[in-house]
Structure 1
Amino acid sequence: MNRKTLVLPAVIGLLAPVLAACGGSAGGGKDGNPIAVGTTDRFIASKAVPAPFDPAYAYDAGSWNVLRQTIQTLMAMPRGGGEPVPDAAESCGFTDTGNERYACTLRKGLSFADGTPVTASDVKFSVDRVRTLKSDSGVSALLSSVDTVETKGRDQVIFHLNTADATFPYKLATPTAGIVNPDDYSRGKLRNGFAIDGSGPYTLDAKVKNNTLVKAVFTKNPHYKGQLKPKNDKVELVSFADTDAMGKALQKGDVDMMTRTMSPEQIKQLSADPGKNINLVEMPGMEIRYLGFDTSAPVVRSKAVRQAMAQVIDRGQLTADVYGSSAEPLYSLVPAGITGHTNSFFNKYGEPSVGKATSILSRAGISTPVKLTLHYTTDHYGPATKREFEVLKQQLNSSGLFSVDIKGDAWDTYRASELKGKYDVYGLGWFPDFPDADNFIAPFLDKDNFLASPYANSTIRDQLIPESRREADRLTASKSLTRIQDIVSDDVPVLPLWQGKQYVAARDDITGVEWALSSSSILQLWELGRGVSG
Structure 2
Amino acid sequence: MNRKTWVLPVTVGILAPVLAGCGGSDSGDGGGKPIVVGTTDTYEKNADAPAPLDPAYAYDASLWNVLRQTVQSLVRVPKGGGEPEPDAAKSCKFEGTGGLVYTCQMRDGLQFPDGTAITSKDVEYSIQRSLDIESDSGVVGLLAGIKSMETPNDKTITFRLSSADATLPYKLATPAAGIVERKLYAPKKLRNGFVLDGSGPYTMKAEAKGDAMTKVVFTHNPKYKGSLTVKNDKVELKPYASAQAMGKALVRGDVDVINGKFDPQQVQEFTDDPPEHVQFLEMQGLETHYIIFDTANPATNKPVRQAVSQLIDRGEIASKVYAPTAEPLYSLVPASISGHTNSFFNKYGDPDVAKARNILEKAGVSTPVKFDMYYSEEHYGPANKQEFELIQKQLNSSGLFDVTLKDVASWTKYRADGQKGKYPAYAMAWAPDFPDADNYVAPFLDKDNFLSSPYSNGEIRNTLIPRSRRASDRADATGDLEKIQDLVADDVPVVPMWQGKQYVGARDDITGAEWSLSTSTDLQLWELGRGVSG
What are the within-5 Å matches in structure 2 for residues 118-517 of structure 1? 118-301=118-301, 303-409=302-408, 410-517=410-517
Deviation string 1:126-161 (CA, Å, 9 cap, x unpaired) is 000111101110000001110011111111111110
Query: 1:480, 1:241 → 2: CA distance?
Result: 42
Query: 2:138, 2:287 → 1: CA distance?
Result: 19
Query: 2:250, 2:9 → 1: CA distance?
Result: 24
**Contact 1:164/1:466 (CA < 8 Å) preserved in 2?**
yes
**Contact 2:328/2:497 (CA < 8 Å) preserved in 1?**
yes
- Contiguous gaps of at least 5 residues in structure 1: 1-7, 19-24
Query: 2:9, 2:178 → 1: CA distance?
Result: 24
**Contact 1:12/1:81 (CA < 8 Å) preserved in 2?**
no
**Contact 2:6/2:287 (CA < 8 Å) preserved in 1?**
no
Query: What does residue 50 of structure 2 align with?
Result: 50
Please give the secondary structure, in 1, of the residue aligned with 2:359.
helix
Please give the secondary structure, in 1, of the residue aligned with 2:356.
helix
Query: 1:379, 1:60 → 2: CA distance?
Result: 15
What are the within-5 Å matches in structure 2 for residues 3-14 of structure 1? 14=11
Deviation string 1:188-247 (CA, Å, 9 cap, x unpaired) is 111111111100000001111112111110000000000010110000100111112111
Deviation string 1:412-469 (CA, Å, 9 cap, x unpaired) is 1000101111111011000000000000000000011111011100000000000100
Residues 14, 419 of structure 1: alpha-carbon distance in 2 compared, 3 angstrom cutoff: same
Query: 2:229, 2:209 → 1: CA distance?
Result: 32
Residues 11, 481 of structure 1: alpha-carbon distance in 2 compared, 3 angstrom cutoff: farther
Say what the alpha-carbon RMSD is for the aligned residues: 1.8
Query: What does residue 27 of structure 2 align with?
Result: 27
Query: 2:184, 2:8 → 1: CA distance?
Result: 38
Deviation string 1:173-201 (CA, Å, 9 cap, x unpaired) is 00000000001101111111111110000
Residues 9, 321 of structure 1: alpha-carbon distance in 2 compared, 3 angstrom cutoff: closer
**Contact 1:288/1:498 (CA < 8 Å) preserved in 2?**
yes
**Contact 2:6/2:286 (CA < 8 Å) preserved in 1?**
no
Query: 1:423, 1:83 → 2: CA distance?
Result: 37
Please give the secondary structure, in 1, of the residue aligned with 2:327.
strand
**Contact 1:243/1:262 (CA < 8 Å) preserved in 2?**
yes
Query: 2:113, 2:407 → 1: CA distance?
Result: 41
| Residue type of the alignment partner of 1:489 | A
Aligned residues: 521
Deviation at 1:31, TM superposition (A): 3.8
Query: 1:239, 1:176 → 2: CA distance?
Result: 23
Deviation at 1:475, TM superposition (A): 0.5
- Contiguous gaps of at least 5 residues in structure 2: 16-24
Query: 2:295, 2:320 → 1: CA distance?
Result: 29
**Contact 1:28/1:235 (CA < 8 Å) preserved in 2?**
no
Deviation string 1:482-514 (CA, Å, 9 cap, x unpaired) is 000000000001110000001001111100011
Query: 1:458, 1:279 → 2: CA distance?
Result: 49
| Residue type of the alignment partner of 2:11 | L
Query: 1:49, 1:9 → 2: CA distance?
Result: 27
Query: 1:9, 1:186 → 2: CA distance?
Result: 36
Query: 1:99, 1:330 → 2: CA distance?
Result: 33
Query: 1:222, 1:239 → 2: CA distance?
Result: 26
Structure 1 stretch displaced more, 369-378 or 196-205: 369-378
| Residue type of the alignment partner of 1:255 | V
**Contact 2:295/2:454 (CA < 8 Å) preserved in 1?**
yes
**Contact 2:370/2:401 (CA < 8 Å) preserved in 1?**
yes
Deviation string 1:84-141 (CA, Å, 9 cap, x unpaired) is 0000001111012111101111100001111111111110010001111011100000
Query: What does residue 39 of structure 2 align with?
Result: 39
| Residue type of the alignment partner of 1:115 | G
Query: 2:6, 2:12 → 1: CA distance?
Result: 11
Residues 438, 68 of structure 1: alpha-carbon distance in 2 compared, 3 angstrom cutoff: same
Query: What does residue 64 of structure 2 align with?
Result: 64
Please give the secondary structure, in 1, of the residue aligned with 2:337.
coil
Deviation at 1:13, TM superposition (A): 6.8
Please give the secondary structure, in 1, of the residue aligned with 2:284.
strand
Deviation string 1:339-376 (CA, Å, 9 cap, x unpaired) is 10000000000111111101111100111100011111
Residues 156, 509 of structure 1: alpha-carbon distance in 2 compared, 3 angstrom cutoff: same
Query: 1:287, 1:244 → 2: CA distance?
Result: 21
Query: What does residue 21 of structure 2 align with?
Result: none
Task: Report sequence identity in percent.
Answer: 57
Deviation at 1:12, TM superposition (A): 10
**Contact 1:100/1:165 (CA < 8 Å) preserved in 2?**
yes
Please give the secondary structure, in 2, of the residue aligned with 1:171.
helix
Please give the secondary structure, in 2, of the residue aligned with 1:427.
strand
Query: 1:530, 1:134 → 2: CA distance?
Result: 42
Deviation at 1:274, TM superposition (A): 1.4
Structure 1 stretch displaced more, 311-320 or 372-381: 372-381
Query: 1:273, 1:511 → 2: CA distance?
Result: 21
Please give the secondary structure, in 2, of the residue aligned with 1:307.
helix
Query: 1:12, 1:112 → 2: CA distance?
Result: 40
**Contact 2:7/2:501 (CA < 8 Å) preserved in 1?**
no
**Contact 2:7/2:282 (CA < 8 Å) preserved in 1?**
no
Query: What does residue 532 of structure 1 align with?
Result: 532
- Would you identify which runs of 4 or more consecutive aligned residues in structure 1 move more than 6 Å? 8-13
Please give the secondary structure, in 1, of the residue aligned with 2:203.
strand
Residues 271, 169 of structure 1: alpha-carbon distance in 2 compared, 3 angstrom cutoff: same
Please give the secondary structure, in 1, of the residue aligned with 2:286.
strand
**Contact 2:6/2:521 (CA < 8 Å) preserved in 1?**
no
Query: 2:213, 2:348 → 1: CA distance?
Result: 44
**Contact 2:8/2:281 (CA < 8 Å) preserved in 1?**
no
Query: 1:305, 1:193 → 2: CA distance?
Result: 41
Deviation at 1:381, TM superposition (A): 2.2
Please give the secondary structure, in 2, of the residue aligned with 1:195.
coil
